[in-house]
Amino acid sequence: MTERAAIRRSAAAGFTLIELMVTLVMISIGILALSGVQTRSSSSVYDTGRQERGLALAQEQIEVARAAGYALAASATGTTGAFTWATQVDSISVDMKQVAVTVTWKDRSSARNLQLQTLLSAR
């Protein structure tokens, strides 16, 4: 093998500086995109957790009204941590009451709420 052939092979076998820089830029863009997805998914998990806690509180207040029974079910309000709840009991017929529980909380800059309803019978 001559010296020229050996020099050509070694020059053709490596990467140029430009190729390496382009590769690094492409990898950097991919990592930035993945970090954005991670940030959005973390905030979605946080929002879902808050909504789940609000739903659990509403279910708890519905069960409190059921446990009190038809005769003693009454409207009430309260605060549990960052959540505010209000129970509204309305008579909708002779032997039927509607119980509606509304839970409100603040997520970042907006107020969120959810409402559960059930019926209580005198029988």
What gap in Å lies between CA 80 and CA 97, rounded to an integer? 25
Closest CA to 99 of 91, 107, 109: 91
Residue 19 pLDDT greater than 80, yes or no = yes
Residues in Cβ contact with 54 at an 8 Å cutoff, skipping those fewer than 6 apart: 83, 103, 105, 112, 113, 114
pLDDT in tens, 41-83: 888 888 889 999 999 999 999 999 999 988 999 999 999 999 9
Closest CA to 120 of 50, 71, 47: 71
Q: CB burial class (10 A; 0-12, 13-18, 19+) of residue 24?
A: exposed
